[in-house]
Amino acid sequence: MAEKRVAIIGGGAAGLMAALVARRFGAQVTLLEKNPRVGKKLLATGNGRCNFTNMDLDLGHFHGTRPPFAQGALSQLTGAQTLAFFRDLGIEPREEEAGKIFPASGQASSVLDVLRYQVEHEGVEVVCDATAKSLIKNGDEFTIHTSAGTFNAQAVVIATGGKAGPQFGSTGDGYNLAISFGHRLVEPFPALVQLRLKAPFLKGIAGVKFVGQASIHQGHLLINQAEGEILFTNYGISGPPILALSRTAGEIQAQHKEALLKVSLLPNQQTTDVAQYLERRFREQGTKTAEFSLVGFINKRLIPVLLKEANIELKEKAARINTIQTAALAKLLTAWTFTITGTNGWTAAQVTAGGLDVRDIDSQTLGSRLVPGLYFAGEIIDIDGDCGGYNLQWAWSSGFTAGLSAALYAT
Ligand SMILES: Cc1cc2nc3c(=O)[nH]c(=O)nc-3n(C[C@H](O)[C@H](O)[C@H](O)COP(=O)(O)OP(=O)(O)OC[C@H]3O[C@@H](n4cnc5c(N)ncnc54)[C@H](O)[C@@H]3O)c2cc1C
């Protein structure tokens, strides 16, 4: 009997995994990729080093409208199985801080090289420069119209990614293919991305870096917080804790509500303790100007901005700064509050929050509940992960699940 055909649309992390697994489970597989080569985004991951999974894959690291949905695929290809899969391909894992796993080579390109080799070695037909334009189903057969011709298959996996990083090929095309069959979309927004802030002085402090704490608030309510290296930029703020909080900010803004960012330059210090310290410092440095009295305590580029915000004249003698001004400065140092005007756009985002509504997808097979034989994998689905290898793990696990299910359906 002739092998049945599975077509995979999108040759990113999820599509490559789905193609390989579908092939291993006996299907004849065609992988259709829009770019001249597969896996362009993989090369950019982990700053070129590819943080491909994490030792701690607790479900709490995955997000979406219904995060438990992710468990179905994550338990079909676990973290340990992912490490074994890549070891088998030649990728020796190396653990770094916070359980992050990178290839020992330190090169994202090595992950892509072994995947490309394996896919071709095991007989997957890879067709590049093939942008899928439409997908239709007639009887038991799907027809995919692409810029490189028409392809038929009994089962199809859509793994076209979300909208993050359109420069790598993911421009949200898969949403339209799925919507054409009646799938619902949870409005996508950029995540793991820098925040834009409303403040007139940003250009003056752009480039200032510090280890601090950041938190997102809705009115008086603390919603989420993170610590680490923070960087002011001319549009707002960046750094790992900011990227980690960007999803929360995006979610609040998607509800058309105001999100506030509070930044502490002195993490884990109480405002009252800082005020007492400043009072003592201003007494001891009393003959100096307010501006000079803070040199050695606060980054010099921040001093004029903070003093202005606290209503303190730069040239005022430190001894003359009153308690109200000191309290205002202490508040700024421990909870500098900014209105978030938005996030940077898709080009800067590492991941897409939102995507295909999981209510229309079976969590165990990643099959469409609307169209038999249609499967989804990767970032196109309304699941995203924290920074730290979680998004690629989702791509591997969901690619594995969808590839396996598609092969079993087709054969
Ligand atoms: C700069 C950057 C760094 C990152 N670093 C990490 C990291 O270190 N660790 C981590 O876990 N995650 C990281 N991520 C996130 C991770 O890369 C993605 O979540 C993951 O690659 C998503 O895989 P995917 O296969 O679902 O989608 P994608 O990788 O986006 O692949 C989708 C593929 O489909 C193709 N395609 C799109 N439309 C069509 C069409 N119409 N026809 C045919 N093909 C199409 C695209 O060209 C693309 O090749 C990073 C992301 C970025 C942008």
User: What phi and psi values does residue 78 have, to the nearest 5 degrees?
Assistant: -80, 175
- CA dist 129 to 8, 11, 124, 168, 172, Å? 14, 11, 16, 13, 17
For the segment 219-230, the average pLDDT, to the nearest whole number, is 96
Q: Which two tokens stand for residue 364?
A: 């165990």
Residue 144 reports pLDDT greater than 80: yes
pLDDT of residue 162: 98
pLDDT of residue 293: 98
Report residue 210's pLDDT band, with 50, 70 and 90 as the boundaries: very high
How far is the centre of ligand 1, averaged over its atoms, from the C-alpha of 157 (Å)? 15
- Tell me: the pLDDT tens digits for 80-132? 999 999 999 999 999 999 999 999 999 999 999 999 999 999 999 999 999 99
Q: Residue 139: which residues within 8 A CB-CB, separation 6 or more?
A: none
Ligand 1 pocket check: which of 110, 366, 382, 392 to mutate, most ligand atoms within 8 Å of Cβ? 392
% pLDDT > 70, the chain = 99
- Tell me: the pLDDT tens digits for 370-380? 999 999 999 99
Q: Residue 171: which residues within 8 A CB-CB, separation 6 or more?
A: 163
Atom number in ligand 1 closest to CA 40: 49
Report residue 139's pLDDT band, with 50, 70 and 90 as the boundaries: very high
Topology of domain 5-189+349-410 in CATH is: FAD/NAD(P)-binding domain (3.50.50)
For the Cβ of 170 lying below 6 angstroms from any atom of ligand 1, the answer is yes
- Tell me: the pLDDT tens digits for 337-389? 999 999 999 999 999 999 999 999 999 999 999 999 999 999 999 999 999 99
The closest residue, in CA terms, to atom 21 on ligand 1 is 13
- Tell me: the pLDDT tens digits for 296-317? 999 999 999 999 999 999 999 9
pLDDT of residue 384: 98
The CA distance from 360 to 178, in Å, is 10
For the segment 283-304, the average pLDDT, to the nearest whole number, is 97
pLDDT of residue 163: 98
Where, residue-wise, is CATH 3.50.50.60 in the chain? 5-189+349-410
- The rounded mean pLDDT for the chain is 97
pTM score of the predicted model:
0.95
Residue 137 reports pLDDT greater than 60: yes
Residue 23 reports pLDDT greater than 60: yes
- Tell me: the pLDDT tens digits for 178-191? 999 999 999 999 99
For the Cβ of 45 lying below 6 angstroms from any atom of ligand 1, the answer is yes
How far is the centre of ligand 1, averaged over its atoms, from the C-alpha of 170 (Å)? 7
pLDDT of residue 4: 86
pLDDT of residue 335: 97
Report residue 2's pLDDT band, with 50, 70 and 90 as the boundaries: low
pLDDT of residue 1: 46
**Is the Cα torsion angle 252, 205, 45, 41 positive or negative in sign?**
positive
pLDDT of residue 410: 82
Q: Is 303 helix (H, G, I), strand (E, B) or coil?
A: helix
Please name which of 29, 25, 75, 77 lies closest in space to residue 52, comparing C-alpha atoms. Answer: 77
Atom number in ligand 1 closest to CA 399: 25
Q: Residue 312: which residues within 8 A CB-CB, separation 6 or more?
A: 290, 321, 325, 328, 329
Residue 258 reports pLDDT greater than 70: yes
How far is the centre of ligand 1, averaged over its atoms, from the C-alpha of 161 (Å)? 5
H/E stretch holding 28? strand 28-32
The CA distance from 377 to 130, in Å, is 19
Atom number in ligand 1 closest to CA 50: 8
pLDDT of residue 411: 65
pLDDT of residue 157: 98
